[in-house]
Structure 1
């Protein structure tokens, strides 16, 4: 073979290998749900801080619940327009609803789409979130078929889907009615069984991939709940007494799942959607720094250390978590100090004073969220070595 032909064949081989390598290294798309029913000023900062890591926003736009009926969410259209990311409007139809009034529900959804467009909100797609019982999937398929025909042709239709549907003979035909599906792999079992199981999530994703050739995403948890007398408590406290059993999605488990998906991604899986965008003050959602670290594949760690503020002889002590992961409160903190005429610990710790140090001992177990602080105590001391503190887990 002439040398020119050999060179051409070599270049073609390099291009083919390069194309395979690029395909293998294509990043897993990561999106966010915005699920707050009341928009607040805090959304502006949260959206700005999340923009670099999450490509698309899926925004709760309307919901229908038994007894409450249909209601629209008053989203901040100016804020969404300024953010500029692609938007998917999500309509939540509660799974406990009686048989859907197909004609009325379809009319409500079409009116919502028109309302968003009149308001100048540019929608890329519409997602229907309906925890439909497997026995009712045939009727749900017909509903989606008719809705697809009525929607604007340029609007992509997707649905939230449940692993329980995998055994239904209707599933393949149902998925043909939509452009994509979002497989929910959290909070799909009885709460007593836990919030999320990474091994089951990966197994479900592989089975879902085999069920249809349509693209799909995984809905992943970045939050926690509490169980109180058999009821679920999220961000809003339940007005009932009783012990609370906290269930939290483990960031390390989710990080490992993402790593596995990047190494061995099902063919039709295009990305993941995190539930949900956290706001400052959320009690059970991950902090945004934790969510971003998991999404980026960064190492997770808590870094809890004393923070000391001085004003003359007065020293005020706090604990600060400078890491990207929640961590347990330290069992003991020692601060080298001399000539202290007064000192005290605040709630959760006990103070012991020695001639050359202050010792704070934990009374109750607790956790400190990433990026957060909590007060520890205070002291009036002539000498305090701020760099000599020791923290015992």
Structure 2
């Protein structure tokens, strides 16, 4: 089908309007890690079947210092056996705007997403969940050299870069098929300059020519919605993924914007729908750690990486996706949405050990559009007649903050002590357990010991009473 015909069809669809839809949406999830660690393999094997589709990062191309670098991901294809469908993502780093014939300086405009690079980073047009700090730090010396069809060069024209991307796309598709995985689509993850969308379309033409038998999907920024070339761009692909997260740069440690503003997201969804093309909306599960200088300006951010040293006097804040807000947005889209909104794409799959993403229980509730809230209970357990344990249990669907003080009144114990970061402070007929600074929230479905008390003789259990204070 020619590009002209595709554009004609896109215009016809726009004129007719997408209509409205309701009911549960399909959900897909992005596995964005370049290193398939044991934790990544475990999460994929256990959770891939929970989603309608899984998109895995297959390769990444970058031009950080001029020459092109290529990282091919060693995907553990066997761990995807339980997936209902598998998509392949090709992530493209920032490309010199000067190489885009139609791009102009500062063509991105305001509201551009941000990503971290290596370690503690400065902030530019970056999007953290798709360029994880940990990956860059761990894998920098593990980049495989490009194949013979992808030579490195100090500089590269727009056309040469497009040919290289097309060759890499064909390579990763062939690798998946050789491993017995039949991908459902190829996804291009690239934050192109808004003024360079027409040039980006020429890259996509090259890729489609090399991989003609696979649907082609692209990620898209909200800033593209106003660009005259955007309608033509999406007219030449099978679908696009609208990124509505990480679009506002924080202005200070006490003025953090939401990672995803549901009201803005809904407006962008409606504007994207007006194009009449199939699309998805990408919502976040992740979080950042951000560092601010004493004067309030943003020094940088990290995502999923181990804690890193910041300059002296840095103020560090955490910014996380709000599960209650995302659940409410999913519920709203379930009730009413544009008919051409095909599914929700989640960035990213939670991995064990990543403290900045949601728990499995929270994520499941959000995908249902169910209310998300903690349900904390602190009570006594009696493993022995003379031994009482104070335990906190969270039966809710969101992390629960543990109480600052737990009071146990009744008979005086022979001994007692705090646990899990709590310290003991005994007074007459009262045992206090005080929360320490390192105590973390309690995940849904989890139980944690707070302290214990040993009595000389079995007490009346009704006489031992637990109360809590924030």
User: Which TM-score applies when normalising by structure 2?
Assistant: 0.72
Using the TM superposition, give the Cα deviation of residue 284 of structure 1 relative to its aligned residue in structure 2, in angstroms.
Answer: 0.3
Name the residue aligned to 1:254: 326
Output the CA distance in 1 between the equivalents of 2:95 and 2:468: 50
Output the CA distance in 1 between the equivalents of 2:302 and 2:448: 24
**Is the 2:407–2:432 Cα contact (8 Å) retained in structure 1?**
yes
Q: Does 1:88 align with 2:87?
A: yes
CA distance change for structure 1 residues 228 and 176 in 2, over 3 Å: closer, same or farther? same
CA distance change for structure 1 residues 96 and 320 in 2, over 3 Å: closer, same or farther? farther
Q: Does 1:196 align with 2:244?
A: no
Name the residue aligned to 1:56: 53
Q: Does 1:301 align with 2:370?
A: no
What does residue range 181-220 of structure 1 map to in structure 2 within 5 Å? 181-192=240-251, 193-210=257-274, 212-220=275-283
Please state whether the residue corresponding to 1:120 is helix, strand or coil: coil
Gaps of 5+ in 1: 1-22
Structure 1 vs Structure 2 CA RMSD:
2.6
CA-to-partner distance for each residue in 1:260-301, whole Å, 9 max, x for gaps? 212220121111011111122111011111010111122322
Q: Which has the higher contact order (CA 8 A, sep 6+)?
A: 2
Q: Which moved more, 1:122-131 or 1:243-252?
A: 243-252
Please state whether the residue corresponding to 2:192 is helix, strand or coil: coil
Output the CA distance in 2 between the equivalents of 1:124 and 1:179: 12
Q: Of 37, 41, 50, which aligns to 1:40? A: 37
Q: Does 1:243 align with 2:315?
A: yes
**Is the 1:94–1:130 Cα contact (8 Å) retained in structure 2?**
yes
Q: Does 1:109 align with 2:181?
A: no
**Is the 1:221–1:249 Cα contact (8 Å) retained in structure 2?**
yes
CA distance change for structure 1 residues 120 and 213 in 2, over 3 Å: closer, same or farther? same
**Is the 2:59–2:72 Cα contact (8 Å) retained in structure 1?**
yes
Output the CA distance in 1 between the equivalents of 2:175 and 2:44: 23
Using the TM superposition, give the Cα deviation of residue 39 of structure 1 relative to its aligned residue in structure 2, in angstroms.
Answer: 1.8
What does residue range 149-164 of structure 1 map to in structure 2 within 5 Å? 149-153=209-213, 155-164=214-223
Output the CA distance in 2 between the equivalents of 1:52 and 1:281: 21
Name the residue aligned to 1:331: 404
**Is the 1:309–1:317 Cα contact (8 Å) retained in structure 2?**
no
Q: Does 1:227 align with 2:290?
A: yes
Using the TM superposition, give the Cα deviation of residue 121 of structure 1 relative to its aligned residue in structure 2, in angstroms.
Answer: 1.6
Output the CA distance in 2 between the equivalents of 1:159 and 1:60: 13
CA distance change for structure 1 residues 26 and 304 in 2, over 3 Å: closer, same or farther? closer
CA distance change for structure 1 residues 46 and 217 in 2, over 3 Å: closer, same or farther? same
Output the CA distance in 2 between the equivalents of 1:213 and 1:175: 10
Please state whether the residue corresponding to 1:114 is helix, strand or coil: helix
Name the residue aligned to 1:389: 466
Gaps of 5+ in 2: 1-19, 100-157, 252-256, 293-298
CA distance change for structure 1 residues 346 and 227 in 2, over 3 Å: closer, same or farther? same
Output the CA distance in 2 between the equivalents of 1:69 and 1:319: 49
Q: Of 171, 177, 181, which aligns to 2:236? A: 177
Q: Which moved more, 1:337-346 or 1:320-329?
A: 337-346
Output the CA distance in 2 between the equivalents of 1:38 and 1:288: 21
CA distance change for structure 1 residues 97 and 327 in 2, over 3 Å: closer, same or farther? farther
CA distance change for structure 1 residues 221 and 340 in 2, over 3 Å: closer, same or farther? same
CA distance change for structure 1 residues 115 and 53 in 2, over 3 Å: closer, same or farther? closer
**Is the 2:259–2:320 Cα contact (8 Å) retained in structure 1?**
yes
Using the TM superposition, give the Cα deviation of residue 162 of structure 1 relative to its aligned residue in structure 2, in angstroms.
Answer: 0.3
CA distance change for structure 1 residues 222 and 315 in 2, over 3 Å: closer, same or farther? same
Q: Does 1:281 align with 2:340?
A: no
* More strand as a share of residues: 1
Using the TM superposition, give the Cα deviation of residue 69 of structure 1 relative to its aligned residue in structure 2, in angstroms.
Answer: 1.3
CA-to-partner distance for each residue in 1:135-181, whole Å, 9 max, x for gaps? 2212101111221122132x111001100101111001100111000
CA distance change for structure 1 residues 284 and 373 in 2, over 3 Å: closer, same or farther? farther
Output the CA distance in 2 between the equivalents of 1:312 and 1:97: 72
Using the TM superposition, give the Cα deviation of residue 46 of structure 1 relative to its aligned residue in structure 2, in angstroms.
Answer: 3.1
Please state whether the residue corresponding to 1:327 is helix, strand or coil: coil
Q: Does 1:29 align with 2:26?
A: yes
**Is the 2:281–2:345 Cα contact (8 Å) retained in structure 1?**
yes
Q: Does 1:118 align with 2:191?
A: no
Output the CA distance in 2 between the equivalents of 1:226 and 1:370: 22
